[in-house]
A and B are shown apart, each in its own frame.
Chain A
Amino acid sequence: EVQLVESGGGLVQPGRSVRLSCAASGFTLNDYAMHWVRQAPGKGLEWVSSISWNSGNIDYADSVKGRFTISRDNANNALYLQMNSLRAEDTAFYHCARDRRWLQSGACDNWGQGTLVTVSS
């Protein structure tokens, strides 16, 4: 069974950093592109960042470019999101999602339940 489990969320002060992790199981991570998508409570989905199967193609939303860094460790079946200079508007549930393809296409057939990041003083 395919599983994606996020961790690392919590309450963090504005301007500080946090690193999210996504543990993948039930499939071979290096066969797929991966994404981070966030959802503020009661709001819609917002794409954050994407990474191709071999980390050769990495993309970011304008709202996080220069502050967030996506990475992956295929050998250990893990996806990461390093989040720096956090702002109140970054408060959201952060989901990792598996693309159907090895390059990004936005067709994600498996999602984690998400980890909540709350940015507040």
Chain B
Amino acid sequence: QSALTQPASVSGSPGQSITVSCTGTSRDDGGYTYVSWYQQHPGKAPKLIIYDVSKRPSGVSDRFSGSKSGNTASLTISGLQTEDEAVYHCSSYTSRSSVWVFGGGTKLTVL
């Protein structure tokens, strides 16, 4: 159950765009892999912002988008706002092995 690999930190200025990568989201067991992204502010519970690689739950800003290429999933945040400053966790759930793994989390600083 190897963890996914994310950068420890990223930063950007208000209005800019940033991308957070997440490596290790492909499995060789033939099952379907669900990729999700969570936002977590200090002292708060995680919040789902992307699921099924690129879908947004109702109420999540369209400034958040997800994609996947090969073994790497990516979260892009456009038009950075100060309230986007948080830790972002990627995760993947593989249906065949029934294992859910998380990345180590990426701290986003909005300068």
B interface, by DSSP: helix, strand, loop or mixed? Answer: strand
Alpha-carbon distance between A93 and B38 when the two chains are bound, in angstroms: 17
Beyond known contacts A45-B38, A59-B98: 9 more, CB 8 A cutoff: A44-B104, A47-B91, A47-B99, A59-B99, A95-B45, A100-B48, A100-B57, A108-B36, A108-B38
Q: How many residues of B contact A (CB 8 A)?
A: 25
Which A positions have Cβ atoms within 8 angstroms of B? Answer: 35, 37, 44-47, 50, 57, 59, 61-62, 95, 97, 100, 104-109, 111-114
B45 pairs with A106, CB closer than 8 A = no
Binding site for A on B (CB under 8 A): 1, 3, 34, 36, 38, 45-48, 51-52, 57, 89, 91-93, 95, 98-105
**In the complex, A105→B92 CA distance in Å?**
8
